[in-house]
Chains A and B, each alone.
Chain A
Amino acid sequence: MKRRKTGPSGVVAAPLDAHTQVLAKETGLPSVKDGRLRTYEPGDNVARFLDLLGKRISRPLAVSMTACVHCGLCAESCHYFLARPDDPTMTPVWKADQIRKIFKRHIDWTGRIAPWWVKAGSLHDDEDLNRLKNIVFGSCSACRRCTYNCPMGVDTGLLVRFARGVLTELGIVPEGVFNVSRDQWETGNQMAVSEQDYLETLEWMRDEVGAELGDDTVEIPVDKPDCEILYTINPREIKFDPRSIAHAAKIFHLVGESWTMPKWGWDQTNFGLFSGDDKLGAFVARNVYEAAERLRAKRIVISECGHGYRSTRWEGYTWADYEQTRPTESVVITLKRYLEEGRIAVNPARNAEPVTFHDSCNIARSGDIVEEPREVLRRVCADFREMYPNRRENFCCTGGGGLLSMAEYRPLRLEVGKLKADQLRATGAKLVCTMCHNCVDGLSDIIKHYKLPLRVVQVLELVANALVVRGASGT
């Protein structure tokens, strides 16, 4: 990569904007009143931060705090640093050290005895906390690429999420993080979709699929008990991309699947992952698990969403202290199974344009799915090509870690997106496929900003597009 001189960004100097927090308090939102959603209160926040730091730290975190040897090998794994190679504050080690030095000063022994010797340091006021907020929310997408590249096994992604969680408890968060958390606490979904909107959109999509197939028996069942599949989605699908629900409904209908969507507990996304708030994480994940329990579904299927998959399949059970009792899988795994079992027929010529695949960080690095989407794409696309690096070494779309909801960090996010833009451009593909709604928006931003001749698609869309409907002349 050509090195270019950049001015020292330092850290993005975004002030704490708490006006929606004030509004939430004034309107007496239940989640604020009962203390589930914390708001900023001027006062001794440093003492509260330190108290929470001591109470919440786990063993994997404690050793990640102590084990770093400052070798700097993580630097070149980070898209922030690769895009701003003259700015040491963009390196994972520097960012993690801003958390680590507080741990050293207050919890680790050397830092308590001789802080200057190990560069331990404390926080003094809310300005320091706000600066830490800008570091952990604004200059890291928690993609864990550095974690995979640390010889010591230091999990900087985990450290960043931990610091975010403590700051969230103090209300010292970007406004967007507060707003989305508020919506998820209040409505059970992160885009405040009303039940009426949800149900009407499902009916609309049912009618669309029925019209497309010329089949008035098409259904999008809601709250149907004893089904094979409980299908959960991202609220973005209701608000901005209902076609993805239609694609899933069409495929489920054609294979004769026994499936349902729940009336409550349908949001598989989870802002608790981004804000570091395990309580929110537990609440949202439990909604999904309890919906499956209530409806006696045999399997939970998660639509294409990176952080939603990670939260629902992996983290949520732990946050909620909920023992997993039924398989929980991504819809891409379901699609792969249909293809392997011959339950759907596809014609790859219907996806003739060159397609590349972008691995979502939360699915590839923090999850278990790497080859499956490729196996599906090779069956449904005529020209599938890899981008490099890929799989668990892929770079973040730049929208990870909830950054899409934090407008104040957008200029930096787009600047460091140059790396992703170069990666996409080099493929020569016309379509970039991803199994994550966050990545759809992150990549779309990059494509628009860097004027790339690409369009973002998802696996469901490509499979639906390639479907050969037996007995029908069209798709």
Chain B
Amino acid sequence: MSDLLRTLENEVQIGALAFMAVVYTVRLVWIFRFRVRRDRTFPAGREAAGAGYSLMNIAMPGAMESTRKRPGFYTQFVVFHLGVAAAIAGTLIIPYAPGLFESRPAVLAFQAIVAAALFMGLLRLVRRLTNPVLRSVSSPDDYFSLILLLLWFAAAVLALPNRPEEGEGPLILYFGLTAFFLVYVPFSKICHYLYYPFTRYYLGRSLGHRGAFPPAKDERARARRSGESRA
């Protein structure tokens, strides 16, 4: 392994991670500077239950009409983010637990997940380019972040077997892109995962207090029974 690759896998990653942590800390301080008003009403439900339901919404495609009616979109979302998780895991496994990737089935499984995410990402890019609604709101960052992720997925698929002796190119690209990501993410739309817990928590807490979240057990079924296509 070359010094360049070793440095990329270790010092550069750690430095980039540290940078990201600092920026995220600043970001969290910034968020907490905004005030929150206390609810002064008698509760009709439980805030904690509402917040919990809201945060778990990500795992409940049936909870929202928007994902319930579009199972394909939800599948894309799941596969895409599993790919992100697998590719991130790869950046830790290769330098710190390389033994895991000595198992060919393990490598193939990771590659399959990331390749599927790459495919879903391509579908997302096509959708963003062709859907007039998305085009009307998309920023250069929206396109750039997605394209960068696609490149990263492609690099991950090639690099995950971790065979520097057969050529370091894919690994250098993979770790180089990872380091760039770690620095870029806090300034891009990709850091939405930092905000997700906040938006969902505050929405869930408010609607939980009012008894709207979580909905009654069969409320959603009754709301849509035989009527999904009518409107």
Task: Give residues in A with beta carbon < 8 Å to B.
Answer: 1, 57-64, 66-70, 72-77, 81-82, 86, 88-89, 91, 93-94, 97, 109-110, 116-119, 147-155, 313-314, 317-318, 321-324, 327-328, 364-368, 370-371, 386-395, 419, 422-423, 426
Contacts and interface: CB of A to CB of B under 8 A. Distances in A.
Given A313-B41, A324-B41, A422 B230 contact: yes
A318 B37 contact: yes
Contact of B57 (A69, A151, A324): A151
B210 A368 contact: yes
Interface stretch (B13-21, B167-175, B190-198): B190-198
Chain A CB within 10 Å, residue with most, of B131, B132, B139, B202: B139
Interface in B82-137: 131-137
B58 A63 contact: no
B224 interface: yes
B216 interface: yes
Interface stretch (B2-10, B59-67, B153-161): B59-67
Interface string B31-50: 11011111111101100000
Chain B CB within 10 Å, residue with most, of A57, A119, A365, A423: A119
Chain A CB within 10 Å, residue with most, of B34, B65, B133: B133
Contacts of B222: 386, 390-391
Given A97-B137, A152-B195, A153-B54, A317 B34 contact: no
A58 B35 contact: yes
Interface residue SS majority, chain B:
helix
A313 to B, nearest CB: 7
A57 B225 CA distance: 39
Contacts of B164: none
Given A153-B200, A388-B226, A72 B231 contact: no
B141 A63 contact: no
B225 A388 contact: yes
B162 interface: no
Contacts of B45: 368
Contact of B40 (A88, A317, A388, A419): A317
Closest 8 CB pairs of A and B: A388-B227, A67-B195, A119-B139, A153-B199, A88-B136, A368-B211, A153-B200, A149-B66
B41 A72 contact: no
B206 interface: yes
A76 B64 CA distance: 12
Contacts of A60: 36, 198-199, 202-203, 206
Nearest to B140: A117
Contacts of A368: 44-45, 210-212
Contact of A58 (B34, B64, B220): B34
B199 A155 contact: yes
B71 interface: no
A70 B225 contact: no
A73 B226 contact: no
A388 B230 contact: yes
A148 B214 CA distance: 12
A366 B210 contact: yes
A393 B69 CA distance: 13
Contacts of A419: 231
Chain A CB within 10 Å, residue with most, of B36, B199, B230: B199
B139 A118 contact: yes
Given A59-B36, A70-B138, A119-B139, A389 B227 contact: yes
A212 to B, nearest CB: 35
Given A153-B200, A314-B210, A318-B37, A426 B66 contact: no
Given A93-B133, A153-B196, A392-B219, 4 more contacts: A62-B34, A386-B225, A386-B227, A426-B230
Nearest to A315: B41
